[in-house]
């Protein structure tokens, strides 16, 4: 084993050695700073690996219990909280939001449903008023701003990725029906024993991995010789161009609100409990969440099956490529690219930094990968794809 490979620690079932080899290769080729990956198969932990550096400034190592912000992987956890309340009969997914959130019925939003909120159809992909990271720690205030805002398109007539605002829309379902924040509900109901927080306490923030930008020059990933999945190249160009336009909807959605000094290393963000992008977790905990979801221990199997039905599929008004969503969960499409074995059955959510959490009921797997090196070109970051591909190839 080379010195680069020896940075990887943990255990891996021999049947899933491709996962370890892929993870080690990612470090060896300089694609990682620090990261963790975990895989469950049929409820059994078959891979729990970690390695590298948690903080580039200090050289602090990434440990088994090192948590890291997982960006939009948060959305699947928030959606699960909202779906659990629907399963309990707290509200009607297809009924108007104004039945329980009367203030929302302004500017033509009266017929918006909870299903619209969970499928990025609400037309509220970005705040139109300035909002700071400090403001965003108040979910009631964020929800009030969105309720008073005119939609960017008629709710229900097309979908566009609500990159950050999704959290306060779906989160209001939880706040109104459970009387607490998403983070509090998640800890109380199904993640209390996991290293997973939406609103991290100070001691967790202190030991969390620190995000770092990829310092490599633009272009193909260093040392990459494997071909990209078909279609990814053109999509990558479209996404990069859209994200580079500061006045475009995609850039506005991704920075609504801006995280402030230090980006998503900002303790204000990590403590603020942003239910669309602020979860701090280990890969092991995020994979365990999907293990429990796939295993029917959080939602009833029928509830999950219905939630995975593709509600929207096709051109995304924000992401400029095709996306597909069930109720809060991404389904395979260009923005949630899956190996062929999982293109009809996989679900979950990816995150802006390259992270992913996903499950597959048919295959009986749960996978999570959380890195702290932010890819220089987010849309062509294939680290998670290669790991998921290795998991499917190991199923035999």
Q: For residue range 55-85, list pLDDT tens digits in order.
A: 999 999 999 999 999 999 999 999 999 999 9
How confident is the model at residue 247, as a pLDDT? 79
Q: Are strands 373-374 and 365-371 parallel, antiparallel or unpaired?
A: unpaired
pLDDT score, position 4: 41
130 burial class (0-12, 13-18, 19+ CB within 10 angstroms)? Answer: exposed
Q: What is the pLDDT, as a whole number, of residue 5?
A: 41
According to CATH, the superfamily of the domain at 5-76+186-394 is: DD-peptidase/beta-lactamase superfamily (3.40.710.10)
List, in sequence order, every residue forming a beta bridge with 324; answer none if it has no partner. 313
- Tokens (6 digits) for 135: 């403001």
When pLDDT is averaged across residues 118-144 and rounded to a whole number, the result is: 97
Q: Give CA angle at 21 (288, 223), nearest 5°.
A: 120
Give 330's DSSP letter.
B
**Which of 128, 122, 170 has its CA nearest to residue 149?**
128
Q: Which long-range contacts (CB under 8 A, 24 or more apart) does 3-6 make?
A: 4/28
- Per-residue burial over 20-49, b = 16 or more CB atoms within 10 Å of its CB, e = otherwise: bebbbbbbbeebbbbbbbbbbbeeebbbbb
Q: Over 50: is that where the pLDDT of 299 sits?
A: yes
Mean pLDDT for all residues in the chain:
93
Q: Tell me the domain boundaries of the chain.
A: 5-76+186-394
State yes or no: pLDDT of 378 exceeds 90: no
Tokens of 271: 């403590």
Looking at the chain, the whole-number percentage of residues with pLDDT higher than 90 is 87
Q: pLDDT tens digit string along 241-265?
A: 777 777 789 999 999 999 999 999 9
Q: For residue 216, what pLDDT band results from cuts at 50, 70 and 90? A: low
Work out the pLDDT band at 230, boundaries 50, 70, 90: low
Beta strands at 373-374 and 212-213: parallel, antiparallel or unpaired: parallel
In sequence order, the 6+-apart residues with CB closer than 8 A to the CB of 130 are none
């Amino acid at each position: 084993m080379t010195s680069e490979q020896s940075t990887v620690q943990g255990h891996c079932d021999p049947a899933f050695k491709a996962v370890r080899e892929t993870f080690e290769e990612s470090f060896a080729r300089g694609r990682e700073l620090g990261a963790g990956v975990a895989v469950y198969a049929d409820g059994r932990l078959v891979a729990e690996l970690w390695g590298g550096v948690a903080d580039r400034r200090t050289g602090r190592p990434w440990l088994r219990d090192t948590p890291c912000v997982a960006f939009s992987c948060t959305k699947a956890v928030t959606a699960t909280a909202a779906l659990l309340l629907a399963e309990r009969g707290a509200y009607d997914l297809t009924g108007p939001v104004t039945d329980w959130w009367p203030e929302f019925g302004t500017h033509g939003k009266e017929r918006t449903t909870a299903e619209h909120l969970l499928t990025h159809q609400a037309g509220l992909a970005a705040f139109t008023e300035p909002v700071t990271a400090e403001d965003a720690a108040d979910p009631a205030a964020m929800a009030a701003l969105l309720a008073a805002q005119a939609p960017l398109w008629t709710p229900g007539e097309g979908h566009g990725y609500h990159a950050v605002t999704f959290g306060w829309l779906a989160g209001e379902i939880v706040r109104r029906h459970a009387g607490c924040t998403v983070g509090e509900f998640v800890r109380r109901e199904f993640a209390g024993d996991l290293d997973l927080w939406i609103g991290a306490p100070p001691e967790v923030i202190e030991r969390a991995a620190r995000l770092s930008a990829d310092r490599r020059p633009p272009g193909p990933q260093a040392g990459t010789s494997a071909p990209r999945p078909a279609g990814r190249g053109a999509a990558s160009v479209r996404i990069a161009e859209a994200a580079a336009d500061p006045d475009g909807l995609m850039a506005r959605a991704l920075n609504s609100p801006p995280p402030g000094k230090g980006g998503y290393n900002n303790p204000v963000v990590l403590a603020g409990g942003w239910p669309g992008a602020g979860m701090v977790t280990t890969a092991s905990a995020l994979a365990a969440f999907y293990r429990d979801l796939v295993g029917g221990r959080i939602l009833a199997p029928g509830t999950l099956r219905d939630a995975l039905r593709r509600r929207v599929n096709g051109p995304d008004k924000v992401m400029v490529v095709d996306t597909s969503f069930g109720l809060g969960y991404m389904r395979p499409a260009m923005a949630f690219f899956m190996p062929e074995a999982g293109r009809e059955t996989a679900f979950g959510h990816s995150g802006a930094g390259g992270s992913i959490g996903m499950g597959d009921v048919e295959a009986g797997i749960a996978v999570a990968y959380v890195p702290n090196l932010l890819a220089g070109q987010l849309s062509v970051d294939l680290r998670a794809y290669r790991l998921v591909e290795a998991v499917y190839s190991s199923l035999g």
